Structure 1
Amino acid sequence: MRAEIDTVYRQHARRVFSTLVRLLGSFELAEEALHDAFLAAAEQWPAQGLPANPVAWLVSAGRFRAIDRLRRERRFAAWDDTLAETLADPAPGPEQLAEAQHEIPDDRLRLVFTCCHPSLSEAARIALTLREVCGLGTEAIAAAFLLPTPTLAQRIVRAKAKIAAARIPYEVPGPSELPQRLASVLRVVYLVFNEGHAALDGALADEAIRLARLLLQLMQPEPPAEARGLLALLLLSDARRAARRGADGALVPLEQQDRRRWDAALIAEGCTLAEAALRQRGFGPFALQAAIAAVHAEAGSAEATDWPQIVGLYDVLLRLEPTPVVALNRAVAVAMRDGPEAGLALLRPLLPQLAGYPAAPAAAADLCRRAGHLDEARQHYRAAVALARQSPERRHLAIQLAALGG
């Protein structure tokens, strides 16, 4: 039975937690209730057997134990009105608990929108989502983002306090708010993936993909185009994971990767999702980035890549999202289509706007190297090495700089 309980915990703990947050109105109370519910399961399931609906059983057990705990302690959290209504219902005994096997709603989407509320800082949204939706430990999140654990823990505490003080509603926004709020949620998932992708951290990338899949599942029957586009983009990017690191641990650029090591199943799924997203109304930057990734994924070699199509997609993306980063990526695509000098003409004016962004001097260095401007290439490589946050990227850049000599 211990193995069955462990399996239920892995598969359903965050779903149970999400519903307990809705019922109890507090992250802290829900966390305690979740712990108590699994203690109750460890005590009762070996004798009674696995319930027909373990999720409903755990939600009921956690809620009833929370009520008992609050009554015993005679104390209330900041949400007295909500808890007063909860406490008005008598906590049932074991017989009633055993009968509470009704189907319960999946509240994880509510929790995602709460953790990604725009009134929270972007850093807080990321930390809170990983902690409360994914269930990652504070130490693991801090290590992934190269932060001291106390700093990350305080960030999470402050975010929860703000949710409580501002009475941020625990709900999926209505139709008028949904597009703007969904954009905030998708950006959090994208940033989590980017962090893992840049650090070659498979665990963090996996969590982001799991979140993107969860969003798509919970927004059925017709998920928004951008939710499909984001999952497509993550899958197509992650398909290259096995080929992105060399034997020495350094980053391997896209054009040098062994494409036989790319994951064909992820590419097929990602391309299907990207096509579906572009056929929907309301597609946006994630769907377009997924389409660009699909063109790369379907090319048999770097030389066979359809660069005119990629430039055309970047033209559309730049109109939707006129940022220096998109302009930088378009400049690199133009360089691949028309030659490095054409790309440099577009890229050089962008560098002052992208100070502090390591991909900018790295791209400039690569194009200067291809164009034969070796002194300028060395200068940009040094800047990129100084800015790189992750060791695989830094090692790759240092190797490129050393290869130029001088």
Structure 2
Amino acid sequence: MKKVIIVGGGAAGFFTAINAKEANPELDITILEKGKEVLQKVKISGGGRCNVTHACFDPKELVKFYPRGEKELLGPFHQFMTGDTFEWFENNGIPLKIEEDNRVFPESNSSQTIIDCFLSKTKELAIPVLKNHGVISVLKEGEKWLIQTKNKKFSCDALVIAAGSSKKVWDLSKTLDHTIVNPVPSLFTFNIKDERITDLLGLSVPNASVKIKNTKLEAFGPLLITHWGMSGPAVLKLSAFGARILAEKNYQYQVELNWMSRSTLEMLDELQNLKVEQPKKQVILKSPFQELPRRLWERLVIASEIKSNQNWADISKVQLQNLANQLTQAVFQAQGKSTFKEEFVTAGGVDLKEINFKRFESKLHKNLFFVGEVLNIDAVTGGFNFQNAWTGGYIVAKSLSSD
């Protein structure tokens, strides 16, 4: 009987174990979890609802959401894709739903549904899940893997590392001759202190363009003003794709913001029309743009050196140009970052050049597999990191069951 040890009691580990055992009931599979609880990241994902995947059904489009792993995941996504994720969960009694922003959640709106499914499946398939079994060392002895935890020694024929982005696990991988790409934070809020956004916590715009000055980094989408500065899909996407560049800058950089993704010339034309159409109205009183909140409009008007009692007719050409600039190319100084538990993702991990992505197997050692965030793969927010876990878990399971 082939023995398999899976290190990591998270989404990727459970999904691998369940699919492998279902495909080949003769496999002897054990999951080792270092903590007192399993599936903790699943529990907090999506604000406790578990953002299972994203409703993108074309592999070529889906890979574009992965700053690291785009090229490597194209083949695997042809094997197990978003549609397969829907089918798997629905076959296991968990119907999924697509929300307006294309994020996918269980219809129950509870991550506990996913956790209960995984726990009941491992119980049904007689897969032991051993908690408080942090791995201390891994050795290769002939064709066998020897695993030492703080509680027990294990021997197995195949070893799956599915323990996520953990320094201990990466250090363990180094002992197996694998290269670790230095980890840096991904998916973080831009820390910005600026009078234009102070005390505007919770205000958002639906379609901003955000650039990092002196780089090619740019992202579009909703932007949210927070206590720390700026967040929302546009900022989080930019932080993911710029993770290494921004780390090199020590998180000191300038952000150029176009609040409504219009060109400066287009905006200037619109403002000139407003000057003609409503000459006697005070500029500051009401935002003329539906997508721009009134309080934010007031701040941008003041930043344009327009007085609070000025009417549209009284605005000079210089003031009008200042306002167009504030709306389309406002520059903010970012200093530092803030991460949240539900957003925390790391760029870094096992070097992708050392992995055979047809099997998610090490190129250095036969029967050593890596799956999930332990690899140097990460994505923007929206369910993509879980899709990587499901796809990798499925392929590793297929490799284990067919060997």
TM-score range, shorter chain: under 0.3
Higher percent of residues as helix = 1
TM-score where L is the length of structure 2: 0.24
Query: Which structure would you say has the larger RCO, counting Cα contacts within 8 Å and 6 or more residues apart?
Result: 2
Q: How does the TM-score come out when normalised to structure 1? A: 0.24
